Chains A and B, each alone.
Chain A
Amino acid sequence: MTTATGALLSSCQQEPTNAITPSGARNSGIGADVDVDLGSGDVAILNYAYALEQIEATFYERVVANPYAGITQAELSILKDIRDHEVIHREFFKAALGSAGLPALAIDFNGVVFSDRNSVLTTARTFEDIGVTAYNGAGKFLKDVNYLLLAGKIVSVEARHASVIRELLQPNTRYFAGDDVVDPTTALDGKREPGEVLPIAQAFIKQTLTANSFPTVAS
């Protein structure tokens, strides 16, 4: 691979034929009132992940740019690390999807009080936990085993984030892997279907995400 852009999808047969615009960017210059479709096949799943990573990365960028009152050096260091990881995930998906990728989403954290530790950390916890359930529920839809492995490489990092954020919220308890997220009988982490996650994600996205051709059958 000599170029990063679109490299991951260079062999992908599912790339939408209408993806390439004269500017080379799909849905470029899109307004907040325009629908954005995730696409079909594996592209749709990767765009789904890309949308979630955009939300997470933007969130932590704001958290680190404007730290909450009373933040400790240790907490700031953790949040900077997580920001870096989420930005790397976002930029990776952007490069990998190339012209098939979603546009930059307009993201709104209405309701999050960035000056308040509890508001920031409970939001972070929610994003990380949802990320884990989203990847856990989406793996079965991926056709290409390499994308499945890629999702696996990311989801465990999200789970590490979730654990660490939860430890900040309730130190020295069971909360890092609490019964609210890990079923106490089976000890399985949660999973959510894309149809469950998208409405949650939509609340933070100004454009309307559509999933008109989203895979619905495990491949």
Chain B
Amino acid sequence: MNLQNIINEIEKVDADVIDRLEHVSRRHMFSAFAKKAVAAASPVLLTSALTQAYGQGTALPGQVREVLQFALLLENVESDFYNTGLAANVVPFPYKDAIDQIARHENAHVILLKSVLGSAADPKPKFDFTAGGAFADVFTNFKTFAAVAQAFEDTGVRAYKGQAGKLKPYSAYLEVALRIHSVEARHAARLRLINAQKGWITLNAGFPAAVYAGDDVTTQGGVALNSIPSLAGYSAATLSEAFDEPLPQDEVLKIAIQFLAK
């Protein structure tokens, strides 16, 4: 799979990544658990339709499997994060329904992806949502929790968008990915409001910076938006808000591995 290839790439810039990911690469230890989870999820009709079209697990086209493994890693990050936060009771009353709804969605995304990947699914890594202490109070301080949640959701939107091209030849998976992508965007906007920000991303503003790097684009499809006469009066900030930018897979993984347990 490619998670390994990607890890090799990242290793060039982050030498101790292998230590952090060791439990991921030892996936055979976990295959029995993975199979149980698949059995529980297999009645999902959609999964059946998808696997009939393209096969399941190791029979999936390699490119599809790569994207789904990548997506599963991100969905595992999100789902584990929300489940842990809700269990830790870090979410105060007015936001409980919102966070619970998001958690349900991420859990369902994990089940969906695992059911399609079958025995090829990577096991869920162990996470450290404090990111080595950078967010030490993530499960005791809702402000920290919501800030990290927003980072995950905005990253998720950019990450799925960055995969669309790879799924293009596989239209059923492309459509599923698009339908997850817009759910992540709904989540992201809600969390941004909780954090007293606009629902949309202005230029590359946001924290952590890596999540928003390169989102300040104002040229689309080769067209500099402010060269369109009717848009000449619009600020770069507004022009950038109207389009969400993709984030390449390796950039997403650099963000994700900060949250893997060492």
Contacts and interface: CB of A to CB of B under 8 A. Distances in A.
B148 interface: no
A185 B112 CA distance: 9
B186 A174 contact: no
A147 B174 CA distance: 14
A137 to B, nearest CB: 7
Contacts, number: 205
How many B residues touch the partner, as a band? Answer: 35 or more
A55 to B, nearest CB: 16
B180 A188 contact: yes
A164 B222 contact: no
A184 B104 contact: yes
A177 interface: yes
A189 B186 contact: yes
A8 B101 contact: no
Contacts of B182: 132, 135-136, 155-156, 158-159, 189
B165 A91 contact: no
A140 B171 contact: yes
Contact of A186 (B44, B187, B199, B227): B44
B183 A189 contact: yes
Contacts of B168: 145, 148
Interface stretch (A65-73, A80-88, A205-213): A80-88
Given A152-B181, A189-B179, A85 B190 contact: no
Contacts of A184: 104, 108
B174 A154 contact: no
Nearest to A179: B101
Interface string B157-170: 10001001100100
A184 B189 CA distance: 19
B164 A148 contact: yes
A163 B190 contact: yes
Interface string B104-116: 1111110010000
A91 B168 CA distance: 27
B164 A187 contact: no
A152 B243 CA distance: 9
Contacts of B73: none
A61 interface: no
Interface residues of A, number: 61
Contacts of B95: 172
A3 B227 CA distance: 8
A176 interface: yes
A153 B106 CA distance: 21
Contacts of A148: 164-165, 168, 174
B246 A152 contact: yes
B220 A177 contact: no
B122 interface: no
Contacts of B189: 159-161, 163-164, 167, 176
A23 interface: no
A20 interface: no
B223 interface: yes
A187 B108 contact: yes
A190 B175 CA distance: 10
B171 to A, nearest CB: 4
A139 interface: yes
Interface of B: 44, 46, 94-95, 97-98, 100-102, 104-109, 112, 157, 161, 164-165, 168, 171, 174-176, 178-190, 193, 198-200, 220-225, 227-228, 230-231, 234, 238-239, 241-246
Interface of A: 1, 3-4, 7-8, 10, 78, 81, 84-85, 87-89, 91-92, 94-96, 132, 135-137, 139-140, 145-150, 152-164, 167, 172-174, 176-178, 182, 184-191, 218-219
Given A153-B243, A176-B190, 9 more contacts: A92-B225, A152-B161, A155-B185, A156-B157, A156-B182, A156-B184, A167-B189, A185-B108, A186-B112
The 3 A-B residue pairs with the shortest CB-CB distance, nearest first, are A187-B108, A159-B185, A218-B171
